Structure 1
Amino acid sequence: MFSTIALISIVVCLIVAYLWTINNRYDYFKRLGISGPPYHFFFGHYKTLWSTKSFSKQLQEWTRQYGSIYGLFLGTTPIYVVSDVDFLQEVYIKQFSSFHSRIIASVLRIERSGRTNLFRTIGARWRRQRHVLNPTFSSAKLKLMSPLVNGCIEAMLNKVSQITHSEHKEINIYELYKRMTMDVICK
C-alpha cells in the first residue's frame, strides 16, 4: 500500500515538474520582452504553421503584426524570427565568433555521414564551415569577380543579339541563363 502511494506520488511529482518546465519554456520570450503570436501548449506554433496554406505568408503576416524580431515555438523550443537586416548582419558577420549555431529543419536533419554541406550541418561543424567560407564571399572578393561576371553577361547578350538578328524566333532564355551561370561558375 505504501509503495503504491509512493509510486503514485513520484509519478504525479514528475508530471507536475514536467508541466512546470514546459510552462517555464513558454515564458522565455515573455521574460525577454519579445512579442509573438499565441501558442498552443506542448505544440507551440506547429499547429498554426501546419494548417496554413503558405508558411512564408504566415511568417510575413506575423512580421507585420509583431515587428521585425519576434518569437515562435516549434514544439517547446523557442525560435527567434528575425527580418531586420542590420541585426542579422551584426549576428552573422560582426559577432560571428560568438554565434555558435542555428536550428535546422528536422526534415533536413537526416545526413549522418561525413558528407554534409553548409545547409545540413549544425553545431561546431556548421560554425567551422562558415568560418572557412566567409572570407570567400567578402565584398572585396566579390568586387574582384565583377569583371568576370560582366564578361559572361556580355557574352550572353551577344548570343541573344545573334539569335534575334538572324532568325527572328523565340528564345529559350532559361537555357541561356543556365549556360551563363555555368560560365560564371567555371571562370
Structure 2
Amino acid sequence: MDVFGLTDYATTLALVAVLILTFYLFGRRNFSYFKELGLSGPEPISHLGNMMEMNKLGFTKVFKHWREIYGDVYGMYFGVVPNCVVTDPEFVQEVLVKRFSNFVNRTVS
C-alpha cells in the first residue's frame, strides 16, 4: 500500500519519526516556563525534569545544592510539572500568611 507515494517501509519509518519528534517536543514544552518568568534553576532533562539529579544526590542534598547555586527562590521540574521552590522564611510568610488569598490553589510541600 502506498501513502503519499511512499512504500510501507517508508511510511512506517516516517510515522515513527513523527511520533518520536512529537513525544520529544511534548516533553520539552513546559521547560521554558521559568525562563519566561526570569527565574533561574537547574536545567531539566526531557520528560524527566530534574528527577535524575534528585535521585542521584537525594532530596536534601540536591535542594541544598540548588539553593547555594540559584538562591532562595528558583524553579525546578518534577517530570514535566514546573515547581517554584522558596526557601526564604520571610517570603514564605508573605505568601502563606499575608497574601494567602492570591495562592489558594497552590501546593505546599
TM bin (shorter chain): 0.7 to 0.9
**Normalised by the size of structure 2, how large is the TM-score?**
0.74
Q: Residue 24 of structure 2 contacts residue 46 of structure 2 at CA under 8 Å; is this kept in 1?
A: no
Supply the AA of the counterpart residue of 1:78. P
Please report how far the alpha carbon of residue 22 of structure 1 lies from its aligned counterpart in structure 2 after TM superposition: 2.4
Bigger fraction of residues in strand: 2
Please report how far the alpha carbon of residue 11 of structure 1 lies from its aligned counterpart in structure 2 after TM superposition: 6.0
Report the secondary structure of 2:84's partner residue.
Answer: strand
Could you tell me which residue of structure 2 aligns to residue 86 of structure 1? 90
Could you tell me which residue of structure 1 aligns to residue 3 of structure 2? 2
Supply the AA of the counterpart residue of 1:62. W
Instruction: Measure the CA separation in 2 of the matches of 1:83 and 1:33.
Output: 18
Report the secondary structure of 1:42's partner residue.
Answer: coil
Bigger fraction of residues in helix: 1
Residue identity over aligned pairs, in percent, reads: 32
Point out the structure with max Rg over C-alpha.
1
Question: Unaligned stretches of 5+ in structure 1?
Answer: 106-187
Supply the AA of the counterpart residue of 1:37. P
Instruction: Measure the CA separation in 2 of the matches of 1:8 and 1:93.
Output: 56
Query: Structure 1 6/76 Cα, relative in aligned 2: closer, same or farther at 3 Å?
Result: same
Could you tell me which residue of structure 1 aligns to residue 21 of structure 2? 16
**Normalised by the size of structure 1, how large is the TM-score?**
0.46
Alignment partner of 1:57 is 2:58: no
Instruction: Measure the CA separation in 1 of the matches of 2:38 and 2:27.
Output: 19
Could you tell me which residue of structure 1 aligns to residue 42 of structure 2? 37
Instruction: Measure the CA separation in 2 of the matches of 1:15 and 1:80.
Output: 29
Q: Residue 31 of structure 2 contacts residue 80 of structure 2 at CA under 8 Å; is this kept in 1?
A: yes
Question: Unaligned stretches of 5+ in structure 2?
Answer: none
Query: Structure 1 7/96 Cα, relative in aligned 2: closer, same or farther at 3 Å?
Result: farther
1:1-187 matches, cutoff 5 A? 1-2=2-3, 12-13=17-18, 15-52=20-57, 54-103=58-107
